Structure 1
Amino acid sequence: MLLFSLFCMTYSYRIMGSDNYVLHTIFPTLSWYITIRLEYMTLFSSIGLYALYTVHLYPLDVNRKVVYAIAAFCFGFTLAALVLPPYYFTQLINPFLVVMIYCLIYTPWVYYKAYKRRRPGSQYAMLSVSVLMIVFAISLGHYWGYLPPLAFISFCCYMIFFFLQSLILSYHVSFNLNVAKQVAEESSRAKSDFLSTMTHEIRTPLNAVIGLTHLLLKGNPREEQAEYLDVMLFSTNNLLSIVNDVLDYNKIEAGKITFEKIEMDMAMIIRNIAKGMQITAADKGLEMRVNIDTALQTKVMGDPTRTTQIISNLVNNAIKFTSSGYIEVGAEVTNMAKHHVTLKVWVKDTGIGIAEDKHKLIFERFTQADSSISRSFGGTGLGLSISKKMLELQNSTLQLNSKVGEGSTFYFVQRFELPEKQVSKPIPVDAAADDKPFTGINILLVDDNQMNILIAQTYLKKWGATVDVASNGQEALDRFDHLKHRLILLDLHMPVLDGYETAKIIRSNGINTPIIALTANLPGEVADYAASTGMDDVVGKPFLPDELFNKVHKFVAATEVS
């Protein structure tokens, strides 16, 4: 674009300052010694600039040595017109015309090759060079006395040439932007794939750590051991939360996050979050308060996992930045109708507070109000950003009231539909585990990771089930007995034959035995595809005892009824 701009400037002088010398009627006192040099310098340099412009326009279709030789001749003549007396540099016109004629022959050839190879804007380049050849033919014919000036035709050709060249540049810029966009999208997809793979790989060993910790806590450890195990469980859950935060933010940016719409108890969610954070708050000497409107007596339709994540992020943030006082988490009914309810949910703290000019800044990803905060308090800086974006995707907004030194209140107002009917509550695993409710139930467990097998097998046997194990999909097909096995727990990513293909084969054989997918991805990521292959439900790794128990119980009970 710079070369074409310089070419336009120099060649415009050729149109105005030579031949009819229109420019001289505007500046009649210009020295002839200056104007004659400008006339020849612009003539020589314009062809050189156009040659270089062609190199950068279609670099793969030109012989660079030829074009650089043309440019060298032209700029050499330009230098001569600058420093030599007029008698000498005017003698260069005939050699220059030879170079120009060669350029007029070679340039269309370059554009023709670009057109054949379908370069961006090459069709306009072919038209523009055709028009330019007409202009130069008129100029040379007039110079040698064979043609009249034909000023109007030359003027029209110049206009068409510059217009077509502008189209070429516009097309070129548009093409490059599209290429850059595709590269950026490909890079984004590669980043998403990388993060998904990495989080999957991290979650798999975390499954072993969290699962074994739960099992050890159930084994009546000594008081000192139980304390260490609680710390280990807290730390691994914290690491899992960070991994999920990174993956969630990546999914939000890619527009791939989805929300469930199932029955949930908002009051219970808030109480459970407060109870779960009680120990962390107490370690800092903080009081954990719960304030729930007595008018909130009904369940609502929403995504309990995401809602828990949003409120937990806010409570974690409040605890992190509060050194004394209290944390209050609460909900208030602001509007109640027949089919929906509007709730205001808040988390209030007596922490360090946030300056008003920093209120918007803290919602940016990886950003905190002060660069020293991450060193003093820790964290990725993703929690608030994720919560804000998740709420916006549900037509709500995360808002803030805060003063420095007085604390902060984060809150959101969200409308929820009311359920038409109530669903059964999950069975607490501790209440049912001692009765061994799965006695006599044979389950086929399919997983290629020995630690995952150990943890799942230990849980299931503790609940009374008999477990057969397969390490890949093909082995599962060989071992499966539809008369014996009441349930299949099927890992998705395995060698030989993965879980998806295994489920398809089982269903294609007309077998309706329930299949629960096991995945180290977030369950929401794979739920739709798993369902399309015939699987009935998904359990995420790391296994949470309550979730695994209730999913197994649900389908075992269903097979008993049928």
Structure 2
Amino acid sequence: MDSDKTHGKPVTLRYKISEFIIRYSLKIAVLLMVTGIISAYFFLASTAQTLTKQTSQLNAQRYLEALSAFRTLYTEEVVNTAKKQNITISHDYKNIKNAIPLPATLSMALGKEIGKFQSGAKTFLYSPYPFPWRAKENKAIFSQDFSQQAWDSLTDNPKKAFFRFEEVNGQMSIRYAIADVMREGCIDCHNNHAQTPKNDWQLGDVRGVMEVILPINKAQFAAQSSLQATFIVLFTMMGLITIVLFIFFSRIKKDAKKLADSNLEMMDKQQQVNFANEEMSLAIEQLELKAIELVSSNQVKADFMATMSHEIRTPLNGVIGMLSLLKQSEMSHEQNHHTHLATVSASSLLNIINDILDFSKIEADKLFIESVEIHLADLVTNLSSTMAHIAHEKGLELIVDVAQLKHVVARGDPHRIKQILSNLISNAIKFTAKGEVVISTNISVIDDTKLQFSCSVKDTGIGIEQSKLDSMFERFTQEDSSTTRQYGGTGLGLAIVRKLCQLMHGDITVTSQQGRGSTFSFTLLLESCRSVKAELPQLDLSEYRILIVDDNKTNREVLHGQLTLWGACVRQADSAKSALAYLTESLKKAKDKQFDMAILDMHMPEMNGAQLGQQIKANNKLAHLKLIMLTSLARPGDAQYFASLGFDFSLPKPVITADLANAIIQVVNGNEPTKTQPALPVKNDTKKITVKPLPKSTRILLVEDNSINQIVAKSLLTNLGAQVEIASNGKEALSCLENEHFDAVLMDCQMPIMDGYTATKAIRKSHRDYTDIYIIAMTANAMSGDRDKCIAAGMNDYLTKPVDIIALENSLLKALNLPLDQIEAITPQINEPKVTEPKVTEPKVTNNDTEVKPDEPSVSSNAWGKEEFYKRVGQNQQLAERIVTMYCQDMPAEIDKLSQAITAKDDKEIEAIAHKVKGSSANLEATILAQCALEIELAVKENNSDEIELLSIKLKDDFAELIAELEGFLAYNMQ
């Protein structure tokens, strides 16, 4: 009891505190709930109203956008096609046979049909400028204040929609209007229609209003009413909660259930909205199906056109053939004229049919690309030559630049490449009234099997408007509608060109400035062709000064580039007056600084090429000057005419590289160039032109420690046309490669400091720009397995010393990927060095300046192959004397070192010196001594000391005999 009493007071107090908290907390909670519900009511009511308006506005906007998109699609794809097929387009299409409705008529009909599924939506299209058959309807519509306000608003701001909510036929609706602006495809119809109320429409003008009256969904109003009822119930419940907590909880449960039911009802309404959207999507899918049907129809049309083109082409070819036969028969002048007109018309029709046929083949995916060998330079130049007369008849310069075509043979479709080029060139000529058409080509290596052929055709014609550039390669498209009338054509040519480029894995682009000309550039992917290489001439004009006289800058630059590649010193003159000034100035200089040749253009302002040539020939001080004439039109008798004026040669434009080389050689040397005659004889001149297999820009790094071998190798390379840099060992070679660019490396194998094998491996592991450079082993090691050792070290090819000039030439041509003089490159693989028995009778040796005396004593010894040695140094007397002198100075010391090494039994030193003696002697064609040195090398490898002793005695005897002969040779030539 005490305990209960003790704890009674705290329990009572605790209960009262709890009751107080519950009572006031409940009141506060109810107050907060009431406040929250009131706030929520106003917030939700406002949000629901805003959402309703936004949803209605969005639905109306999408409705008109879909209708407008359909109208645009119908105008561009159906109406334009119907116009081409001469199908009637009318608002009264139901009463006209085979007619189709106008875009506006069909759009309103479609809106009416859609409205049946869109809760009674209604669509209107009205304008202050209606056609007569819509005038009454428009007048009634404009009597409404909304229509007039919509027109005023949209006229001021066409991009902003005009709308408002109002009750229509007892139902709340949104009236939504957008501007109906003038489209490109509609301008012609509206301006030129017989009953048009306005004929000065322009693109983007507001021609009317497109309006939709869209009833607001009833479900949205029902949701708002349900929300209001819910809040009323909640307020009632809050009043009852203040009386009895039990009633509050029971009521809250019931109201929660009602709220859930209301949400379910709202979800049902939302599903109805989704169903309506799905119906809209279904309608869009049906439109897409119609579009697919149109595409299929186009394919059927393409197949039909291909068949019809074939059928038409056959009798048309017969017509042209018969006209050709008719022209060969006897006819009157009038009959000849009529036949000519008929032939021109038939040819034009044939070209149109061919374009349609090709395009139809492409559309039907029935055009196939061939793969045959093509001489690209010949293809471009020959095609240009056939079209040159068209350009020249218009007074245009046709310039062809194929100087960059290094790989001039590839595999592709020559017919289609010609088709692309002829289309672009003929277009350039057609749309150019004065100036020039320049054809520039290039080719680049993609990989071992692919080449990319690039070509651009640039003109100085009428140009193309920038807004039209993107559509130039679409079918039936030209710069404007007057182009076809003025210049002719189907509008299919460029579309076919793009398709052909794409079929050959390339593309075409165009840049243009209106009034200044256009440039069409295309690329094609071709296959590499290694079986046959076409040969481009490589002249050595390093001793020549040439003057180019042409008023056309591009023509001068093309000629300048080609002549510079051949090493000539070139100067340009843009007029006859400037040319005469340059020539007068040159006469004041030394003879070797004067011009040797002038290339003149025939057609120049003020004074033409023929008149300039006559003035030059009239000056006795310029009698030495060789003259070449460039003519736009090659006519019968031109050669004789220009020869009578004093010209040495005449060439037609465009100038082909091979023809230019042939002309220069004939003018200076008087002979045709041949492969077996690199140095042509001189005719009435102290200079000569040589045809060399390597471009003058070829740079070779020669890595060789032996000074005699350096001189011989450098002489051989220089005679082939290359520039040579020398490194004495592998370390120096790496330094040279770091600092300079080279096209190939000739690498000796045995060298001090760093040998050729080590240097090659270092190059391959360097990961620098030169890591893949072509390396040719040039070694006196000719034993079995030496070639494999060089290849294993990373070298690309292998030559033995003494180096054969043909083998060296072929190896370098392979390194540079240039045309081979011989299909099979010579790659010597021998077990013993070459030993040639010298002939007893000594040949007569000549060079440019000296000649060996005819009474020189004959050779009585076979120690030195003098005849073969002279062949090796290119019959150069001074070089021969220099090499023999160096050999006589350096080799006695090497023989002494060899004797000392043999006495000391230093096998490594013996082998190194014997190798050096072998290489130097072989290059001198001292084959007996070289053979003995080789045998010493082999004896060292076999560790045969007795054989080394015997061979060293023989080596001294052979060397003494050789030195005696060489010193006699030098003594005789010093006389």
TM-score (norm 1): 0.45
TM-score (norm 2): 0.27
Higher relative contact order (CA 8 A, sep 6+): 1
Larger radius of gyration: 2
By percentage of residues, which structure has more helix? 1
